[in-house]
Structure 1
Amino acid sequence: MAAEASHQTSAPRATDRPGDASPFALGLLLRRAHWRAGSLMSEALRPLGIELRHFAVLIVLVDRGATVQRDLSEATGTDKAGIMRVVDDLERRGLAVRKAVPGDRRVRAVEITPQGVELFDAAHLAAAPLAERLIADLMPGEPEKLTDLLTRVAHPTSDEA
């Protein structure tokens, strides 16, 4: 009984509700915000016939150029089988192509096509009004402040990532 009592704490417990003061509060808020943002961005992509997982790969391809699947997997947080399915989908739609990598017959690089770039640009236009809905309750200047804070959380300068 004494051992059980020593494990009890007066620390606040996670509730996932506004005002949660638990050590999990920030993570829970980030998760909820991620779900909401993902839902809105999925809504923007749906009429274009792609999902967020496809768009994540297109982002990497536009940013980095031709990229081997292993690096796409790492950049998007998708397992190897999942990235193969996404690239297959993009190829079927004519949005990306696999190309041989000189010097390594086993490796293929994925490259965005002109149609992929067109869709990428269309996605940005479609997302703009939904992105506005995401920040509608923020005051002037707060979206920029939130972006700065989230950038520092997501990309820490310390080695304690």
Structure 2
Amino acid sequence: MSGQDQSLKLFVVLSKAYKFVMDRAVKDMKRNGLSATEFSVMELLYHKGRTPLQRIGDKILITSGSITYTVDKLEQKGYIRRVSSPDDRRVTYAEMTPLGTELFDRIFPEHAKVIDVIMGELTAEEKQAAIALLKKIGYKAAETR
């Protein structure tokens, strides 16, 4: 098999694996009444804390229009709030509310277990190797835009 054929095969296998992994992960997210985008925004805020709205899209790869819509929905549910920057009027932060933190304290450990089960066929060493290889692919793809 030529190098190009191997690249194409890897692309197909990677795409299919991503689809199946994401389908399972999204199913778990929806079980808790959150869309995948809502869950992703909340997970970012849960782990990173207060984040400028303008930076959320870079962190979880969604468009600014989707961020506004998602933040609005999460605000309506009482899980996050917008906070104006005291230093720069152009900057607005999103942060979790106590209700949002309480929800994530409850649901995130179970979600992490689901992800661990999905990745369960790999040893710790294989997971590290996969992380390194996928980062290498991602960096190359980013530089060839």
What secondary structure sits across from 1:155 in the alignment? helix
Q: Which residue of 2 aligns with 1:61?
A: 45
Residues 73-106 of structure 1, C-alpha deviations (whole Å, 9 max, x = no match): 1111111101111111111111110000112223
TM-score where L is the length of structure 2:
0.79
Deviation (angstroms), 1:129: 5.5
Aligned-residue offset at 1:107? 2.0
TM-score (norm 1): 0.72
Counterpart for residue 144 of structure 1? 124
Q: Residues 32-74 of structure 1: CA distance to partner in whole angstroms, max 9, x if unpaired? A: 2221111111221222110221121122212221111111011
When the two chains are superposed, the root-mean-square deviation of aligned CA atoms in Å is 2.5
Q: CA 1:38–1:121 in 2, change beyond 3 Å: closer, same or farther?
A: farther
- What displacement does 1:30 show? 2.1
When you count helix as a share of all residues, which structure comes out higher?
2
Structure 1 segments (4+ residues) deviating >4 Å: 10-13
Q: Does 1:102 align with 2:86?
A: yes
Structure 1 residues not aligned, in runs of 5+: 1-9, 14-20
Measured at CA, do residues 36 and 79 of structure 1 come closer, stay the same or move farther in structure 2, by a change above 3 Å? Answer: same
Amino acid at match of 1:153: L
Larger deviation: 126-135 or 103-112?
126-135
Contact map agreement 2:30 2:36 (CA 8 A) in 1? no
Q: Which runs of 5+ in 2 are unaligned?
A: none
SS in 2 for 1:106: coil
8 Å contact kept, 1:96–1:112: yes
**What does 1:1-161 align with in structure 2 at a 5 Å threshold?**
11=2, 22-127=6-111, 130-131=114-115, 133-135=117-119, 138=121, 142-156=122-136, 160=140
Number of paired residues? Answer: 139
Bigger-Rg structure (1/2): 1
Name the stretch that deviates more: 37-46 or 22-31.
Answer: 22-31
Question: Percent same amino acid among aligned pairs?
Answer: 22
In the superposition, relative to structure 1, how do residues 154 and 59 fare at CA in structure 2: closer, same or farther (>3 Å)? farther
Q: CA separation in 2, counterparts of 1:11 and 1:65?
A: 47
Q: 2: distance between equivalents of 1:24 and 1:120?
A: 39
Stretch of structure 1 that moved more, 83-92 or 146-155: 146-155
